[in-house]
Amino acid sequence: MSQYSLSLLGDGSELELTVSGNIDLLTTMQEAGLSVRSSCRNSVCRLCKCRLVEGEISYQGRPPCGLLDRHIAEGYILPCIAFARSDLILDNLSLNKSI
C-alpha cells in the first residue's frame, strides 16, 4: 500500500509523520505518540475532528456520521475512519496535550 506524508499544524509548530494508505489516520497519529482526543473510533462522537488543509482522503465508503454539513463545507474530517490517498496537511487537531 502507498505511503504518504502527514503534516500536522498546531500551536505554531509543525510535525510530520509517514502514513500508510491502509491504516486510518487516528491510529497512525496515536501510534506515533500523539494524544489525539477520541472515543468511538467509529465516526460518531466527533472528538477526533480536524481540518484537512491539503490533500485527499478516503472514508472507504463509510459516511462520516458525526460531521454536520457545515463541518464538511469548512474542510473538517474524522481521522478515525479516514485513510490517506495523497500527502496530507491537517490542522485543528483536538489534542490532550499540544504537539
Looking at this protein, which amino acid is placed at residue 35? S
15/47 with CB nearer ligand FES? 47
Rounded Cα–Cα distance for residues 21 and 79 (Å):
12
| Nearer CB in complex with ligand FES: 40/99 | 40
* Largest separation between any pair of C-alpha atoms in the chain: 34
**Closest distance of CB 26 from ligand FES, Å:** 6
Nearer to ligand FES, 32 or 45 (CB): 45
* Amino acid sitting at position 31: E
Write the single-letter amino acid at 5. Answer: S
In the complex, which residues of this chain contact ligand FES (CB under 6 A)?
Answer: 38-41, 43-48, 66, 78, 80
